[in-house]
Amino acid sequence: MDPQSHSSDAKAQPTDFEAKYEMTQKQLEDSLKDNENLVMKYAYVEKKNIDLRALVEEKEGEIKRRDRELAQLQKQVATLRAEQQPRHRKYADAKQHTPPGADERQTAEQIAELKAKIMELQAIEIMLKHANIEQTERIRALQKSNEELRASLEHQEAERNSCLRTLKEMEDGRQQLNGRIKQMADEHEAQSSRIAELNARLQEAHTAAQESARMQHTIEQQAHEREQLQQALDEQRHECETVKQRELELLTLNKDLSELNCVLQQEIAKQESNMLAVTLEYGKFIKMFYDYDAQIVSLANSLAIERQLRAEERLLMAKHIADKARKLTHTEQCLRQTRHDLEAYRKKYGAIVKEFQREVKNVQQLVGQ
């Protein structure tokens, strides 16, 4: 197996363990936070429950007080009614036993007093009825509020029980997490010893891997040098083929240049022969010119003596001289043109020869390399 795979496995195991340990630690911290939140929520619910109980007790006390007040008022009404009946009977008896005329004023006063008391009692009765209705409505409102408070209390009690169950579950989960953390700590110690052993083996494998890598690098370096030599050899072969092809091309060019040189040599020889012929012709013309000049001088001398006698001959001679002069001028022009053409051929041949020498020199340098 590759030492790098051992290294990766050895590193992966503590990494996974640390990840699991951190995850478990995080779960424990989250559980503790949830536990604290539940405790705070339970305390808040308990306080609210106590406040609701106090409010219910207060409302129940108020209801009892209202009930006592209502009973007292009902008792007062019953007492007034009981007092009213004897007075009515007494008034009827007095009316029967009293003479009609003697006690009318006293009777009227008693009647007025009784009417006033009756009106007062009726007003008290109406007031008590209104108070009774108001107390009844208050009692109903208090009973409704009491029922709502009891429902809220039952709901808060259910929430409290739910919080207690959740708190118990969280406590059980915390104990399980503590046990798991302890187990993971033991596993961590075992993993640490295993990691130490694997690190020792990894160090040995790393040393062997370095030696193997060094040998592999040497082999790769030699293979690379071999590839470079093979590439240089291929390049030399390609250059040799190129030089051979270039040499063939230069030989062909040399052959063509040799043929052209022969043609040019022939042309030069021809032009030189032409130039020699023209030179000889020119010499002949010069000699002829000098001869004619001498003849002209002689003729001029003779002309001075024989002008009268040789007038026609002089005219003929002048015409002949003019023809000869025209021929001489034409010959000189042809000679100059021939010299110009010869010079151009010499320059062209010299350039071709220099180009050929340069190509030959390049070929020699390539062959020498």
CB atoms within 10 A of CB 250: 18
- pLDDT cut 90: percent of the chain above it: 0
Determine the average pLDDT of the residues in 125-129: 72
Q: Which residue has the higher pLDDT, 205 or 94?
A: 205
User: What pLDDT is attached to residue 6?
Assistant: 45
Whose tokens are 């023209």? That residue is 278
Q: Which residue has the higher pLDDT, 228 or 125?
A: 228
Residue 218 lies in a domain: no
- pLDDT cut 70: percent of the chain above it: 53
Q: Report residue 168 as tokens.
A: 């118990």
Banded model confidence at residue 289, pLDDT cuts 50, 70, 90: low
Q: What's the CA gap between 3 and 46, in Å, rounded?
A: 64
Residue 241 lies in a domain: no
C-beta separation of 41 from 170 below 8 A? no
Q: Report residue 341 as tokens.
A: 């053409």
Q: Which residue has the higher pLDDT, 253 or 107?
A: 253
Residue 265 lies in a domain: no
- Domain coverage including residue 343: 320-361
Q: What's the CA gap between 149 and 162, in Å, rounded?
A: 19
Residue 348 lies in a domain: yes
Q: What's the CA gap between 221 and 217, in Å, rounded?
A: 6
The pTM of the whole model exceeds 0.75:
no
CB atoms within 10 A of CB 170: 19
pLDDT per position as a tens digit, 256-285: 777 777 777 787 677 677 767 766 776 676
Residue 114 lies in a domain: no
What is the number of domains present in the chain? Answer: 1
Q: Report residue 268 as tokens.
A: 């030069």
User: What pLDDT is attached to residue 95?
Assistant: 52
Residue 351 lies in a domain: yes
Banded model confidence at residue 7, pLDDT cuts 50, 70, 90: very low
User: What pLDDT is attached to residue 3?
Assistant: 45
Q: What's the CA gap between 88 and 66, in Å, rounded?
A: 33
Q: What's the CA gap between 360 and 358, in Å, rounded?
A: 5
Q: Examine the pLDDT at 4 and tell me if it is beyond 50.
A: no
Q: Examine the pLDDT at 153 and tell me if it is beyond 70.
A: no
Determine the average pLDDT of the residues in 320-326: 75
